[in-house]
Amino acid sequence: MKGEIKLRENRKKERLEIQLFKDDKEFVKNKATELGYKTVSAFLIDSAKTHFKLEVDMKVYRDLTKEINYIGKNINSLIRRIHTDGIYTDQDMDFLKVNQKKIIKIIQKEY
């Protein structure tokens, strides 16, 4: 703690000037107060130190969506046919079960 105090004593404070719209200025001040900071400066310094950017590769989810939609279209075609004909076969039920398992397998693989 003493080392920290000495470091702070040797540092000279400088002014940082920024321009904000009035509503943005009030938002920042209110957010600092709301989060328990004594000063806006403390809030801005802490925000800058703890800020991070999260980048997510969405390709996996797009591919997952494509595969599930493809299977879903096949299932919908079967359901329309069953609805039109008014009957279904054991093969139809097997088709539904197989495709349901495919969807579950895809989801489990990706997550």
Taking residues 87-93, what's their average pLDDT? 90
Q: What is the pLDDT of residues 69-80, one digit of tens each?
A: 988 898 899 899
End-to-end Cα spacing for the chain? 45
Give the mean model confidence (pLDDT) for residues 89-108: 87
What φ, ψ does residue 55 adopt, rounded to 5°? -115, 125
- Picking from 18, 106, 44, 40, the residue whose alpha carbon sits closest to that of residue 70 is 106
* Position 48 pLDDT exceeds 80: yes
Listed by start position, the domains of the chain span: 2-50, 59-110
Q: Does residue 41 surpass a pLDDT of 80?
A: yes
pTM over 0.85: no
Q: Is the pLDDT of residue 7 over 70?
A: no
Evaluate the CA torsion angle 93, 96, 102, 105 in order and state its sign. negative
d(CA 13, CA 85): 81
Please report, rounded to a whole number, the percentage of residues in the chain having pLDDT higher than 70.
90
Q: Please give the pLDDT value at position 74.
A: 87
